[in-house]
Structure 1
Amino acid sequence: MPSAAVDGSRRPLPRWLTKPLVGDGLPRKRQLALAIRPLLVELWTRGATESGGTPPTQAELAERLHSNSTSLSRFVSLDPRIPSEKFIENLYKAACPDATVSGGCVGITLEALQDLRTSADGERRGCPSCVELGGRIDSLTAQLNALCPACAAREKEREDAAALAASLRQEVASLRSRVRALEASEAGLQARPAMAKARRAPLPVPRQQRDRQRSQKEVAVARQLTAQARELDSAGQQDEALALLRRGTTELLSPTETALVIVELRQQKRDHLVDNLIHVYGRDQGDRPVMTVAAELHEEGAADDAGAVLRAALK
């Protein structure tokens, strides 16, 4: 329905056009009233614009439609009175001067509006044929609003992928929480030896390339995602596996963990998943994450994949 205020006047719609339709009776008349109201609002709005911001009164609208104020109020309410075919035609042509019988205006055609009038009139008179027509209209409306099988299948796939990603996110969060708890407990046990070691002169030992505990955590997270992607791929759900990898590496995993996922998949001969993941990651991620992934891959001995990530980022 059009906005409740008119540009220029900022006046609200009149009460008789917005009054709630209270009651469960006369469902066909309810449909007709709800279809008529937007046309009257369109006519009311245009009248306000043409008059420089002053909307027409109910009586003025009724006179333009060769009717009266009382009838207008009944037509847009659950009053049993049904407008004539001529009134419906006059209203449609006045509110939609550029629409044809086969064209549409505010979401409905003149033919469809006349069908609603016939159905509501049959409901008032208890005509079985008109009630049947109303049932067919409801059935067609339901069919138009329903998703086709292909769309429903795609929607189901999106929902399944989203649910899988949410489950993975929860599992990763739980795993990281357990790792933090383990680190905290180990920190207390290592505090005293560390203090004693600090009092001694440092020994000339080689610098470690990466933290061992951090590496274990990254490997665990990477293997979790890799395992789920492998299960989907083995079940013939390659698209779902790729969607999981894309969302997991961009929303949940760090660049280091992403590099480990690539290494794990390559070792498991899932080359088609790796190549697709490298292309999408290099194309969509920023320079820093891409460079970090490339560096980690090079350190893991996957120089070819490191170069592929960088090349994807340059395309």
Structure 2
Amino acid sequence: MSSAGPSPVRGGWLDPRKPFKDGVRPRKRQLGLALRDLCRLLHSDEPAETGRRPLKQAEAAKRLGCTADELSRYLNDTRIPSQDFLERLHKEAGTDAATSGQDVGITLEALLSLHTSALAERQGCEHCQEMSGRIDSLIQQVNAPCPQCAAHERRQEVRRRQLRRRQQRKLAIRLRSASKEQQTRLRLELAEVKVTVADLKAELAGKLATEAGLRERPAAAQPAGAQLPVPRRPGDRQLSARDVSAARQLVAQAEELDGSGREDLAFTLLQRSTAELLTPAETALVVVQLRCRERDRLADDLIHVYGRDQEKQDVMAVALELHEAGAPNDAGAVLRAALG
């Protein structure tokens, strides 16, 4: 039978797993299998049907001019149908197969030859039985696997497995190399941020020292109407240009990492910098900058981790800065994170 035939019907009267009745000889079995394949090609063509479907046994029997019991015995039992039945079935199956673009899979001559062999088998013709045995032997030889082909296929399978293993090793090496490069770059970027923040803090400390010295001078030494500079208290919303620059630089680096698909590295940079280097006011500015740059996921994660891990005083300072910066939702979020 051709491979272009219909797919086997699982279950029902045409199930290929359905066994033959006891006493069915080999030639009749071959004929029965051919009849099953042809019956699978029969489909309903009623206008009311939404799609073509295989016929039920009673429908097929009516279409082929026999009873359902006779059809069952033709397919599964010892009974051999007439030549007229075979011609009718082959014609009907061919018509339905052409409609659905399928191949019948067996010629009428081959079907009638199976019919002749089954009749000879039933009548006990020694010549026909001998010829059938020879045909079976030839079929077994044709279907027997070629040792050379089998050995070649085994060698090909070994090569395919070796190729897959080599590809997997190369991929693992590339992944490890990429991970090391990312870690190195993150450490360098974090070191740059630390240096920048340290420079800013040193400059701020010098400025505060200068301002403290000025306050200790006599008031008369000050020009009329002049006011002493006041150092920024923790939580003061008036950040210096240096403070703003440091926060923006950190956000820019995180945005670059996030934009290149390395969100985990971007968040690690933000989390460690705000926890170890930045003041609460600077941290609040980082959150505001992330919102402005539409990096909401990074902002949400930073708020959650900062509120959960940092001291309550720092969390409250960040919340105050966020509230005064016009971000009351983020202020409430960081406080909720601190409360667990």
Name the TM tier (shorter chain). 0.3 to 0.5
Q: Which has the larger radius of gyration?
A: 2
